[in-house]
Amino acid sequence: MVKLGVGIIGAGWVAGEHIRAFQANPHTEVRALCSRNEARAKAKSVECGVRCELFSDYEKMLAMDGIDIVTVATPPDVHRDQAVAVAQAGKHILLEKAMATTIEDARAIRDAVVKSGVKSVVSFVLRWNPLFDIIKAQLADDAIGRVFLGEIDYYHGIGPWYVQYAWNVKKEIGVSSLLSAGCHAIDALRWFMGGDIVEVFQYSTFGKGADFAQYEYNPTSCTMLKFADGRIGKAASCIECIQPYVFNINLVGTHGTIRNNLVYSKKKYPGQTGWTDVPTILPDSGDVRHHPFTLEATHLLDCILSNKESHVSVADAYKTHEVCFAADLSGQEGRPVALPLA
């Protein structure tokens, strides 16, 4: 049986989920863990019950024999150097989002991965949420026709109680509401609606509640998106809200509508008088333990063994990030911004 070795760069909260995901797969084994603080790496290995080599230098880890896949689960401001090094070392890569903090760094990662020929997945992990699978199947079955309006909103208060808050508030690391977290909404719009986004316009604001006063950028934004064929979308991202986590999906089609796990389609359900409820697991928690990392890891392994590109490869995820960078530029300059960016 094929057994691929995995190295993890990072020893934070999300790194633990990547470790568990690869340990759960019979074809992969976590063989190395790297953190700038080796004591943190050791603590994470104990927490996850994995015996492996420990490193404080990721380049030394990349030189280790038996490492085929590397997860980069560190803050986004260090992703460029780490991800490029992983690609240049010929290792397949699972890269946490945001993939980078600048468009130039995102391009550098994209180009390095393309040049190396390794397989890649960027961790837009909601693509494996069961609701996403159901919606994709409904769209493929023409349940609501051609979607001409999509609204996807990310509401998740990332305050002092949340693990990434300490670095998320910093402009050079968190960057923006979209790059920090709302990119999941932009990615979902692309995933469900397809096609190219050619123009964006954004407004942003800052509520300045006591729990969020340390943010160095506007933690709330609303972005309008125009597709090449004239369809439109909207993505709100609010990481300073006081409420339970909400990932709102509303897709309006030519003969029906999908609203989260509710569907209204007289084509599929003749005589329908109200919403049809599809009981399923929703993307309704900001706790990373709720997210389907095991399915994501299995998908990457399938891409490697089948020699195929992922639907959320670095090249694809770059497009989601490019929309986010363009939207933030629009918010800063108060004008529509065309895509692709120069």
Q: What is the pLDDT of residues 77-107, one digit of tens each?
A: 999 999 999 999 999 999 999 999 999 999 9
H/E stretch holding 82 reads helix 79-88
Q: What is the pLDDT of residues 115-126, one digit of tens each?
A: 999 999 999 999
Residues 110 and 177 in one domain: no
Residues 230 and 248 in one domain: yes
Pair type for strands 147-155 and 232-238: parallel
Residues 119 and 205 in one domain: no
What residue spans of 194-333 are helical by DSSP H? Answer: 293-306, 314-333
Q: What is the CATH number of the domain that holds 115?
A: 3.40.50.720
Helix or strand or coil: residue 8? Answer: strand
Residues 134 and 227 in one domain: yes
Strand-pairing partners, residue 71, are: 8, 94
Q: How many structural domains comprise the chain?
A: 2
Residues 103 and 167 in one domain: no
Domain range for residue 120? 4-125+293-311
Q: Which residues contact 293 (CB under 8 A, 6 or more apart)?
A: 17, 18, 20, 21, 123, 125
Confidence of residue 1 (pLDDT cuts 50, 70, 90): low
Residues 210 and 110 in one domain: no
Residues 161 and 301 in one domain: no
Q: Which residue do the tokens 């910093």 mark?
A: 170
**98: cis peptide before it, omega within 30°?**
yes
Confidence at residue 38, expressed as pLDDT on a 0 to 100 scale: 86
Helix or strand or coil: residue 49? Answer: coil
Confidence of residue 287 (pLDDT cuts 50, 70, 90): confident
- Alpha-carbon span 338 to 27, nearest angstrom: 44
Residues 75 and 183 in one domain: no
Q: What is the pLDDT of residues 159-188, one digit of tens each?
A: 999 989 999 999 999 999 999 999 999 999
Query: Residue range 2-13: average pLDDT?
Result: 94
What's the sign of the alpha-carbon dihedral 321, 94, 60, 288? positive
Residues 143 and 262 in one domain: yes
Q: What is the pLDDT of residues 37-65, one digit of tens each?
A: 889 999 999 999 999 999 999 999 999 99
- Alpha-carbon span 182 to 156, nearest angstrom: 9
Q: What is the CATH number of the domain that holds 207?
A: 3.30.360.10
Confidence of residue 289 (pLDDT cuts 50, 70, 90): confident
- Alpha-carbon span 56 to 253, nearest angstrom: 51
Would you state the structure tokens that stand for residue 223, as one six-digit string?
């972005």
Query: Residue range 186-208: average pLDDT?
Result: 98
- Alpha-carbon span 185 to 152, nearest angstrom: 5
